[in-house]
């Protein structure tokens, strides 16, 4: 005899099993055992209670020698196979005929697809079946094997018996290594897999009894009891509908020893077919919850005619769309996404008592964080629902990343809407009144984005000023920071404006115009930034080039050649008190200027940039103005500010200006230029205190 009308070996080759579905053949054998018992109870009055026994067979070469009582301290051997025994109807002639017929409808009412037993050898090398059942006179015992051949089933052997109990045994041997190596070894972990798959059966108190036995140490677990006492803290059944399609949800709070995440189990005819994640808006946390009785994970088991009818033949998926299309009709079948969302909404109500306190705590965290960070304040009004979907209990870094993503998504949406509205208005100028209200609403959103980005920028300026001021103080060793430490605050050393974002430098501390340079090189020899033909090692701290003079058409002109302005910046160590004729900053500035005037072209990115012969060069020197420096400047014609904190020299023949200011004056001037913004934002005096506290903590 064989499986009728099918090449069994070809079937196995075409239907490979995923490693995660390693127990599916065993589940099919157990389900057949349940079906056999249900058929016997239906046909025979006074039948004994149904019992299914699943024995885990271990690899013999890995058995532990010694007292079985001491084996608990050892890891159990790998699984070699399973033996499933039931006291069901047995393989009578009609059942045997149905067993051999592929796609039989014999068990259609029980959800059978007629192909379940074909999966036996998807993960095992051999399968042997022995079934004892009543005959015309006495009893019969039928034996057959399932093999990896085209016919699949060997000729059955029937033995006549005078008397025997009804019993069917299915032995699945030689669990393939690719499945056994990753399968759980501990008996309770194996039991968990069976409880999850057959949850609907085991959760019914009057159901068929099922137990699992380990032949390694004779340990036994009653799966019905395990389901109730070890698997669940709470259970609730609820009926819902998606359109005209009813669903039954079994909400459970599963103990963490048997569940490791929140999930939805989609079932067909009482068997788990597929697991999907719970939607974030239903339960925005991956961590376990606590109901007072202990930690748990939420698991929903979902049944319904729509799932029974659309389960695939191997019961490893559903013939339903994953997501809902753009157009939804009333009679459309629900998608997996729709089912998950509906179950998630019901689950949120079931879990309300445990989630509400966490949600309120999360809400306060969101409000505080967005209030403290100016740029994110509009999100409280415009994206609070989305902020509340951020997972509870994230680390500070993960939380900041999530908020940042929502902010930039909102900002992009506002700008897109503004662009679309502006285009509509331009193309329909005669209908401006029609669009005015919507246009104003979008403008308000754009204004929020712009205001809070500006506020963030100004707040950053306040922090930079205070940080610079703290760096100019003496350290714990009584010494001042060196030139390099100060330099990096203004612009990173060994970098150019091609290496960093435009707003990552702080040259605005010196002059607001320096925030809009065309090209900047920091602490790089002139020859390396492209002074054509130069072999000198002259290296100004910062060199900035402009395509147009600021007082003419810089902001509007796009004819970038030749450069019409150059700015150099030099820093000296705070409180430096010794200068000589060669090292004084004015002499140093003159060397830079002459070097640049003699070499007319700059090369960058394989393009040639020219500095016009009469283009002005502005040199900023930032240092403390000490007596020794004034002595060295006696030979120059300079002007000094009344407070003694600034010196200006104009060099007519070189068309250059050298400006020397102290660190104190630089900070004071930067504060004055930004003071009104600090006051308007209410950050005046705030950031400095934080920087000071940070320094004290560091000391």
pLDDT of residue 307: 92
Closest-CA residue to 596 (of 613, 572, 608) = 613
Ranges 84-88, 359-363, 457-461, 695-699: which has the least confidence? 695-699
User: What is the sign, positive or negative, of the torsion defined by CA atoms of 457, 461, 467, 471?
Assistant: positive
User: 443 by DSSP, 3-state: which?
Assistant: helix
Query: Which pLDDT band, with edges at 50, 70 and 90, does 82 fall under?
Result: very high
Write out the two tokens for 588: 């140093």
pLDDT of residue 610: 60
End-to-end CA gap in the chain: 88
Q: Highest mean pLDDT range out of 70-79, 219-228, 510-519, 669-678? A: 219-228
Per DSSP, what are the bridge partners of residue 85? 53, 169
Q: Looking at residues 26-39, what average pLDDT do you find?
A: 90
- Give dist(CA 12, CA 128) in Å, integer: 17
Ranges of beta strands (E only) in 59-138 are 79-86, 124-134
pLDDT at 599 over 80: no
The alpha-helical segments, DSSP class H, found in 428-550 are 432-471, 483-490
Per DSSP, what are the bridge partners of residue 4? 101
pLDDT at 530 over 60: no
Domain 8-185 has CATH 3.30.565.10: yes
> pTM of the entire structure?
0.48
What mean pLDDT, rounded, does the chain reach?
77
Percent of the chain predicted with pLDDT > 90: 20
Ranges 6-20, 318-332, 485-499, 598-612: which has the least confidence? 598-612
Residue 268 parent element (H or E): strand 263-268
Closest-CA residue to 659 (of 498, 513, 506) = 513
Phi/psi of residue 268, nearest 5 degrees: -130, 120
Residue with the bigger pLDDT between 417 and 377: it is 377
The number of angstroms, rounded, from the C-alpha of 81 to the middle of its chain's C-alpha atoms is 39
Per DSSP, what are the bridge partners of residue 127? 146, 172
Measured CA distances, 222 to 197, 209, 652 (Å): 15, 8, 100
C-alpha dihedral over 283, 284, 287, 291, to 10 degrees?
A: -40
Percent of the chain predicted with pLDDT > 70: 71
CB atoms closer than 10 angstroms to residue 141: 18
- Give dist(CA 86, CA 32) in Å, integer: 9
pLDDT at 556 over 80: no
pLDDT at 101 over 70: no
Q: Highest mean pLDDT range out of 54-58, 117-121, 180-184? A: 54-58
Closest-CA residue to 623 (of 589, 671, 673, 672) = 589
Ranges 15-19, 496-500, 556-560: which has the least confidence? 556-560
Query: Which pLDDT band, with edges at 50, 70 and 90, does 112 fall under?
Result: very low
pLDDT of residue 434: 58
Reported as a single tens digit per residue, the pLDDT across 331-353 is 688 999 999 999 999 999 999 98
Closest-CA residue to 124 (of 226, 34, 46, 17) = 17
pLDDT at 37 over 60: yes
Reported as a single tens digit per residue, the pLDDT across 429-445 is 555 555 556 656 666 66
Write out the two tokens for 360: 């309120």
Q: Highest mean pLDDT range out of 317-326, 346-355, 431-440, 451-460? A: 346-355
Antiparallel, parallel or unpaired: β 51-58 and 209-214: parallel
pLDDT at 105 over 60: no
Write out the two tokens for 621: 């020197």
User: 351 by DSSP, 3-state: which?
Assistant: coil
Closest-CA residue to 637 (of 654, 622, 623, 662) = 654
Closest-CA residue to 83 (of 124, 51, 55, 59) = 55
> CA-based diameter of the chain, in Å?
132
User: What is the sign, positive or negative, of the torsion defined by CA atoms of 437, 440, 446, 447?
Assistant: negative
pLDDT at 131 over 80: yes
**Domain map of the chain by residue range?**
8-185, 357-455, 473-661
Closest-CA residue to 247 (of 318, 317, 337, 339) = 339
The three-state DSSP-derived secondary structure of 179-199 is HHCCCCCCHHHHHHHHHHHCH
pLDDT of residue 17: 83
pLDDT at 550 over 50: no
- Give dist(CA 565, CA 99) in Å, integer: 92
């Amino acid at each position: 005899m064989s499986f009728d009308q099918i090449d069994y070996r070809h079937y196995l080759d075409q239907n490979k099993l995923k490693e995660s579905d390693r127990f599916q053949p065993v589940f099919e054998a157990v389900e057949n055992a349940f079906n056999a018992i249900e058929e016997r109870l239906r046909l025979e009055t006074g039948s004994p209670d149904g019992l299914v026994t699943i024995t885990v067979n271990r690899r013999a070469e890995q058995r532990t020698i010694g007292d079985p009582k001491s084996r608990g301290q050892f890891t159990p051997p790998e699984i070699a196979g399973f033996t499933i025994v039931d006291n069901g109807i047995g393989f009578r002639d009609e059942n045997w005929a149905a067993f051999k017929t592929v796609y039989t409808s014999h068990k259609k009412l029980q959800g059978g697809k007629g192909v379940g037993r074909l999966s036996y050898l998807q993960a095992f090398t051999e399968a042997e079946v022995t079934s004892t059942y009543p005959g015309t006179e006495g009893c019969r015992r039928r034996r057959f094997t399932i093999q990896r051949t085209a016919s699949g089933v060997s000729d059955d052997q029937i033995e006549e018996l005078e008397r025997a109990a009804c019993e069917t045994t299915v032995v699945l041997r030689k669990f393939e290594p690719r499945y056994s190596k990753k399968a759980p070894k501990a008996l309770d972990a194996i039991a968990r897999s069976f409880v999850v798959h057959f949850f609907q059966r085991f959760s019914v108190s009057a159901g068929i009894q099922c137990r699992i036995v380990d032949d390694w140490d004779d340990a036994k677990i009653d799966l019905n009891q395990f389901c109730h006492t070890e698997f669940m803290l709470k259970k609730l059944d609820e009926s819902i509908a998606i359109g005209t399609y009813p669903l039954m949800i079994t909400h459970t709070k599963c103990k963490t020893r048997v569940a490791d995440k929140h999930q939805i189990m989609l079932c067909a005819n009482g068997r788990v077919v597929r697991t999907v994640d719970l939607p974030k808006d239903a339960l925005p946390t991956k961590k376990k919850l606590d109901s007072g009785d202990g930690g748990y994970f939420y698991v929903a088991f979902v049944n319904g005619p729509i799932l029974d009818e659309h389960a695939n033949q191997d019961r490893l998926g559903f013939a339903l769309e994953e997501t809902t299309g753009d157009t939804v009709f009333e009679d459309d079948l629900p998608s997996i996404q729709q089912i998950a969302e509906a179950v998630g909404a019901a689950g949120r109500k079931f879990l309300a008592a445990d989630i509400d306190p966490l949600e309120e705590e999360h809400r306060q965290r969101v409000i505080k964080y967005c209030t403290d960070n100016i740029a994110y304040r509009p999100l409280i009004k415009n994206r609070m629902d989305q902020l509340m979907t951020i997972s509870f209990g994230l680390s500070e870094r993960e939380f900041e990343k999530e908020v940042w993503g929502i902010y930039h998504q909102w900002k992009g949406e506002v700008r897109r809407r503004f662009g679309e509205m502006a285009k509509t208005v331009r193309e329909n100028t005669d209908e401006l009144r029609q669009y005015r209200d919507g246009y104003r609403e979008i403008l308000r959103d754009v204004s929020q984005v712009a205001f809070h980005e500006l506020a963030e920028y100004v707040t950053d300026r306040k922090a930079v000023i205070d940080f610079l001021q703290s760096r100019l103080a003496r350290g714990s060793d009584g010494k001042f920071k060196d030139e390099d430490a100060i330099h990096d605050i203004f612009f990173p050393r060994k970098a150019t404006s091609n290496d960093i974002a435009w707003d990552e430098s702080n040259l605005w501390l010196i002059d607001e115009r320096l925030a809009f340079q065309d090209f900047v090189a920091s602490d790089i020899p002139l020859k390396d930034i492209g002074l054509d033909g130069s072999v000198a090692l002259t290296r100004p701290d910062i060199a900035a080039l402009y395509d147009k003079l600021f007082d003419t058409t810089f902001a509007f002109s796009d004819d970038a050649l030749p450069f019409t302005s150059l700015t150099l910046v030099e820093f000296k160590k705070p409180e430096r008190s010794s200068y000589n004729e060669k090292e004084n900053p004015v002499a140093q500035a003159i060397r830079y200027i002459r070097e640049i005037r003699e070499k007319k072209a700059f090369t960058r990115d394989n393009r040639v940039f020219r500095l016009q012969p009469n283009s002005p060069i502005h040199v900023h020197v930032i240092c403390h103005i000490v007596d020794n420096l004034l002595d060295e400047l006696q030979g120059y014609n300079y002007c000094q500010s009344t407070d003694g904190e600034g010196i200006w020299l104009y060099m007519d023949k070189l068309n250059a200006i050298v400006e020397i200011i102290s660190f104190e004056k630089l900070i004071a001037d930067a504060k004055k230029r930004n003071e009104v913004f600090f006051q308007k934002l209410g950050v005046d005096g705030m950031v400095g205190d934080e920087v000071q506290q940070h320094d004290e903590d560091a000391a």
